[in-house]
Amino acid sequence: MSPDTPDTPDATRGYDPATYAAVASWSGSDRMSELEATMWRSERHPRQSSTMTTLFLLDRAPDWDRFVEAHDWATSLVARARQRVVEPLLPTAPPVWRTDPHFALSYHLRRAQLGERNTMADLLELTQTIALTPFDRTRPLWEATLVEGLEGGRAAYVLKLHHSVTDGLGTIQLVSMLGSRSRAHTADKPRGVAPTPVEESSDPVAVTVEGLAHTLGRTSDLLLGAVDLGAQALVDPRGAMSETLRFGASLRRVLSPPPATPSPLLRPRDARTWILRTLSCELADLRAAGRVAGGSVNDAFLAALLGGLRRYHEVHGVELDELPVTVPVSLRRADDPMGGNRFAGAMFAAPMGIADPLDRIAAMRGVILGQLTEPALDSLSVITPIANRLPSAVGAAMARLSAATDLSASNMPGLTEDVYLAGAKIERVYPFGPLPGVAIMAVLLTHMGRCGIGLTIDGSALDDVDVLMTCMQEGLDEVLAVGRPRRRGTSRR
């Protein structure tokens, strides 16, 4: 968050009105999307969690009073930070966001000291405790903790958000816009405008009626769309039939369980214990590895994870050629508003058994491209409006489909310039995703040319996490070696 008191008497800077206008409109809708409503209503924490936690390592501890003032300013500007969820009496529509009349910054902003136990391992232990603690669902769905007393006088900022508020990319957008580009004070920052009484109606009966009108309006739009499709079918019946069959076939592939045998080593799991671990590497090295194999950063990242899990299975004498994996695919367009959630989940059988990292990257490229061309990739947009009008147990059953996969992996761009939180510089960032039924959630976030990888591990599924992390590091190292210059006269093939 942007600082509020100067480091020096003359540290006065102006602000960019366009930036703050974008911040104020961040995730500006007063109603959840259908996808967000599904995540909210189907959550059964911790086994089907929607908690996202991001760990920011700071070069020093900011002044606490300045830090508090910065958050007070930020939450006045971003309406969602002071809003709670209000459900209709009946599931006539997704829930709405309403300003919490009892909002207390002191509840959401906390302060912790590591004391003598001040290593990275100790910090991760505290972070996993924070992540595993469920949200109070009657309050705004965020918590932030400043952790002081790290080695060398450094500090950490642990930001926890519910997935119904935004996705990982939306989190980084928010931090980037609210953070300062200088240690010094940013003067003349505007504050948010209080909502009008009309916008603040949170009476359950009124919300139910509004929800019914919302659903009827959407139904009308869908009917008009169906009429348009019918008219097109009359003009080109053969083409319409072909598209219908193509979409139907794609829908069966997308909704069917992935054609891979789940790993016996990653079961049983109940997610009652979360274990957080980290990996890191240079973005240039990971990108170079992807390019050598004709793939992308994402392909190299997935190949590294699969290489680590292949080693882990070898240690335990289990041989698997494929592993069921889920990968979130961003559906954001350049003109989409910031915040919110815009993604689809792709489930597939990943080539874990390929020993050569170069071949594994190339194979991953083919698998991912095949998923991106599926017409029914965003099938959740068709299913969730129906499920959300039924009891929440239906949505919870849908969410359990992700438990058919063993690994979920996501990567996203992060900060590309120095950002300061109340005068403290962000040095490293590690994202930790939820455990929606999978054994391992892996998230990669780039920050100033470096990749921070956060692993959320179901402790009930793995009791030898140190062995796993050794294998994962080896899997990452072998992929990075693909992209590094090799000795003259040697060849990989």
Decide if 71 is catalytic: no
Catalytic residue among 71, 108, 163, 447: 163
CA distance linking residue 251 with residue 376, whole number of Å = 5
Cα separation, 328 vs 163, whole angstroms: 13
Per the structure block, which two tokens stand in for 118?
A: 């001040």
User: Which tokens go with 187?
Assistant: 């003067």
Contact 346, 329 (CB under 8 A): yes
Q: What is the DSSP string of 39-74?
A: HHHH-BTTTB--EEEEEEEESSPPPHHHHHHHHHHH
Per-residue DSSP letter, 224: H
Cis peptide before 46 (omega within 30 of 0): yes
C-alpha pair distances (Å), 149 with each of 21, 111, 473: 36, 11, 28
Question: CA nearest 247: which of 258, 257, 239, 236?
Answer: 239
160 bridge partner residues: 53, 143
420 forms bridges with which residues in the sheet? 180, 425
The two most distant CA atoms of the chain are separated, in Å, by 76
Q: Are the C-beta atoms of 81 and 70 separated by less than 8 Å? A: no
Look at residue 369 and give its three-state secondary structure.
Answer: helix
3-state secondary structure at position 99:
strand
Q: What single letter denotes the amino acid at residue 48?
A: Q
Helices 357-372, 297-315: axis angle to 10 degrees equals 120
Residues annotated as catalytic are 163
